């Protein structure tokens, strides 16, 4: 285990840097946390963490490196991610234009399954996350390690993601943050819509 510990720590450190740099996943959690409350936000963060299991497993199997080498696969990933971000932008703009009166105690009903699935879907189609995992594959991969080390690597990636994104969920669903959201709801939703729209366009037109 000691032989692979530096690689594990390096891989998890790169992942942590990706989590600390807010991207589409954090913006999704922001919208859920402020608009729906703490539990849906934490479940969304759990979905994102489950997506990290897929990306970590793909890194071990070398799939992320294959994506980087095969232009067609990366193009497909880009357009799927761009379409999903565009859908999130449409939802945010719709909320900004037609925002019913809400109260602090009111939580929009949403199934745990759907909240988690939204987080999972965004994470596995999130090129920002894929790029960080490509970096992990290039400098901190553990593909040649024994099975138990690979299991620890994948489990650590899940814990890392859930703690980081779960922390965002708890912070952004706190009373002060939600009060700001309810006061400036239309502006917040419009800003989220703009972020997702720009991210979608940037992703679709990037090379």
pLDDT of residue 90: 83
10-residue mean pLDDT profile of the chain (207 residues): values are 78 81 81 84 93 87 60 67 76 72 48 83 80 69 74 92 92 82 75 78 70
User: Using CA atoms, how far apart are residues 13 and 78, in angstroms rounded to an integer?
Assistant: 25
pLDDT of residue 105: 46
* b/e per residue 176-206 (b: at least 16 CB within 10 A): eebeebbeebeebbbebbebbbebbeebeee
pLDDT of residue 165: 93
pLDDT of residue 66: 57
User: Using CA atoms, how far apart are residues 172 and 181, in angstroms rounded to an integer?
Assistant: 10
3-state helix, strand, coil in the chain (%, to 5): 80, 0, 20
Q: What is the CA radius of gyration of the chain?
A: 18
């Amino acid at each position: 285990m000691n032989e692979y510990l530096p690689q594990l720590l390096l891989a998890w450190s790169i992942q942590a840097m990706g989590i600390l740099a807010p991207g589409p996943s954090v913006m999704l959690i922001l919208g859920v946390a402020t608009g729906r409350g703490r539990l849906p936000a934490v479940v969304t963060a759990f979905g994102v963490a489950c997506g990290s299991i897929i990306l970590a497993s793909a890194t071990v199997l070398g799939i992320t490196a294959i994506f980087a080498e095969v232009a067609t696969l990366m193009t497909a990933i880009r357009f799927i991610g761009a379409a999903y971000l565009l859908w999130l932008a449409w939802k945010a703009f719709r909320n900004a234009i037609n925002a019913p009166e809400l109260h602090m105690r009111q939580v929009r009903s949403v199934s745990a399954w759907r909240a988690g699935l939204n987080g999972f879907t965004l994470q596995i189609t999130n090129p920002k996350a894929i790029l960080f995992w490509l970096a992990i594959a290039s400098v901190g991969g553990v593909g040649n390690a024994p099975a138990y080390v690979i299991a620890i690597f994948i489990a650590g990636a899940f814990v890392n993601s859930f703690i980081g994104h779960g922390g965002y969920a708890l912070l952004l669903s706190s009373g002060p943050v939600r009060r700001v959201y309810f006061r400036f709801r239309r502006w917040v939703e419009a800003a989220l819509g703009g972020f997702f729209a720009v991210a979608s366009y940037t992703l679709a037109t990037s090379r």
